[in-house]
Amino acid sequence: MQISNKGIEILSHFKEDMGMAIGFEKNGYLFNYYDAEWQQMPKVAAILEANHVNFQLLGPDQVEARIPGLRCGVDHIDPEVRELLGLEPIAGGLFGADCGSFDPSQATVGYFERAATDFAARPVVQLNTEAVALTFDPAGRADGVKLRCGGTEETVAAGIVALCTGPWTNKLLERSGLPEQDRMPIISQKRMLFITDFPDQDPRWQTIPLTSIDQGIFFKFESGSLMVGKARIDAPDSLDTTFEPDYYVEEINLVMQERMPITARCKLKRGWARRWAPAWPSWSSPASTRASTAPRSAGAASRSTTWCRKPTSCREASPPGRGSGPRSRRGPPRSNPAPGRSSGGPASRVRRSPG
Ligand SMILES: Cc1cc2nc3c(=O)[nH]c(=O)nc-3n(C[C@H](O)[C@H](O)[C@H](O)COP(=O)(O)OP(=O)(O)OC[C@H]3O[C@@H](n4cnc5c(N)ncnc54)[C@H](O)[C@@H]3O)c2cc1C
């Protein structure tokens, strides 16, 4: 929590400090909970307070007032559908007003530009270059990287090697000859985001917080559209990024339109799938149905690899270009108000289909 607070502070002053606009928008995060979890909220609130987190606890009326069309009760839902989907009344919401999103690619460019001018040893960015394998000294410590750029290969010696290859980390370690037990405690899961129309012309859509509702479904304003997502907790360890529009229609919108009937009009415009690298296969643990997975790539050391600082392969410094990947976020820990219940494709029981 203190790291998050510090992050918010840094992001708030990023432009003045680093001379780079990163589009940090504090629209807030609103996590909604069923009664069983809401009962635990006093304990959570005490921890948040002790860590100086800026938050508010909202009752159902206050939640409904913030999110157009959201109904905290369940009386409007067909009892059979309610049971099938495991929907319960929302008892309250945890709102973090300082939370928001920013452009991490721009932030990275800001740091590189600063490093290029402020550090005696200039950082080097080498684009279109693949790390083919790590090299190790006789004691098993990483002491270099074998690189491939076009048809050219070179091995760069290094005092310390930082692995920042996200979901591909274990592939690289495997190619480097590390046995399975020495690889990273991470897997790669496909995650998708969906861009839809707004349900109506209500101006509040422009300023809604990122809101999480049933079954871990979340949505936020994103450049004039609604961005919707839901982690598939049991996604296999895979580098696949095939986009599945049906996941939105069958697994997300069918549930969302019960909680917010107007979202039956939220027609899918586009979306994408990328790789998410949680620590260990969260889907194999008993608590996995509740857990949201924290991103953690290359954060823990394997026995034979050390981590990081110096780019020793030196060509001309060039900051990376602006990316189009998902934005990072800061906020209270994620939670699923309706943990563990997958709708399991309840198409036959539930009504409308968007678009
Ligand atoms: C759909 C989706 C939504 C997300 N939303 C959020 C969010 O709202 N907030 C949040 O904080 N996080 C979010 N995340 C997670 C966030 O994107 C990741 O935690 C973050 O990108 C991890 O950064 P990284 O630098 O460790 O790894 P990555 O961003 O995966 O970067 C790894 C890089 O290494 C490169 N690479 C891999 N292998 C090699 C090799 N052998 N040689 C050279 N280069 C290599 C890859 O090309 C890639 O560019 C989301 C992720 C997904 C998929």
Q: Does 6 reside within a domain?
A: yes
Q: What is the CATH number of the domain that holds 226?
A: 3.30.9.10
pLDDT at 291 over 70: no
Q: Does 253 reside within a domain?
A: yes
Q: Does 209 reside within a domain?
A: yes
Q: How far is the CA of 163 from the centre of ligand 1 (A)?
A: 12
Residue located via tokens 């996995």: 288
Whole-structure pTM value? 0.77
Q: What is the pLDDT of residue 51?
A: 96
288 contact partners, CB below 8 Å, separation of at least 6: 233, 234, 282
Q: How far is the CA of 325 from the centre of ligand 1 (A)?
A: 8
Q: Among 158-167, 296-305, 324-333, where is mean pLDDT lowest? A: 296-305
> In terms of residue numbers, what domain contains 231?
2-104+189-276+325-330
Residue of the nearest CA to atom 27 in ligand 1? 166
Cα distance between residue 325 and residue 100, in whole Å: 16
Q: Does 144 reside within a domain?
A: no
Residue of the nearest CA to atom 31 in ligand 1? 166
pLDDT-based confidence at residue 69 (cuts at 50, 70, 90): very high
Q: What is the pLDDT of residue 122?
A: 83
Q: How far is the CA of 78 from the centre of ligand 1 (A)?
A: 41
Q: Does 41 reside within a domain?
A: yes
Ligand 1 atom closest to the Cα of residue 129 is 43
Q: Does 294 reside within a domain?
A: no
Q: How many structural domains compose the chain? A: 1
Residue of the nearest CA to atom 39 in ligand 1? 165
175 lines ligand 1 (CB under 6 A): no
Q: How many helices (H) and strands (E) would you count in the chain?
A: 10, 13
Q: How far is the CA of 3 from the centre of ligand 1 (A)?
A: 20
pLDDT tens per residue, range 107-140: 999 999 998 888 888 888 889 999 999 999 999 9
Tell me what the pLDDT averaged over the chain comes to. 81
The phi, psi pair for 260, rounded to 5°, reads -135, 85
Q: Does 68 reside within a domain?
A: yes
Q: What is the pLDDT of residue 280?
A: 58
Q: Does 28 reside within a domain?
A: yes
Q: What is the pLDDT of residue 120?
A: 86
Task: Check if the beta carbon of residue 13 is closer than 8 Å to that of residue 102.
Answer: no
pLDDT at 343 over 80: no
Number of Cβ within a 10 Å radius of residue 224: 10
